[in-house]
Amino acid sequence: MRDDYLQAALLVIDDPNILINVVSRRVKQLKRGNRPLVESLEKLSAEDTALREVSERKISYELATPEEIAAHRG
């Protein structure tokens, strides 16, 4: 994982725990065959691609409300 991509992504999502979760979910999608939302002349790992997508604001996240969490737990 490239440190410059990580630092750029942390400027967009400053909570490391949230960033890890967003990147992890996106990496799974990329490894399942989803197309990258960024172009690169070099071959990037799925992790670096996900970090670039975050830093370029191609993907985002939304936190669940307490009500949504309670409803999900049933």
In angstroms, the Cα distances linking 5 to 45, 63, 74 are: 12, 23, 39
Full domain range(s) for residue 46:
3-73
pLDDT on residue 73: 83
Successive 10-residue mean pLDDT values, the chain, 74 residues: 95 96 98 96 95 96 90 81
pLDDT on residue 35: 96
pLDDT on residue 46: 97
Number of domain units in the chain: 1
Cβ–Cβ under 8 Å, residues 26 and 38 = no
Q: Is the dihedral of CA 12, 16, 22, 25 positive or negative?
A: positive
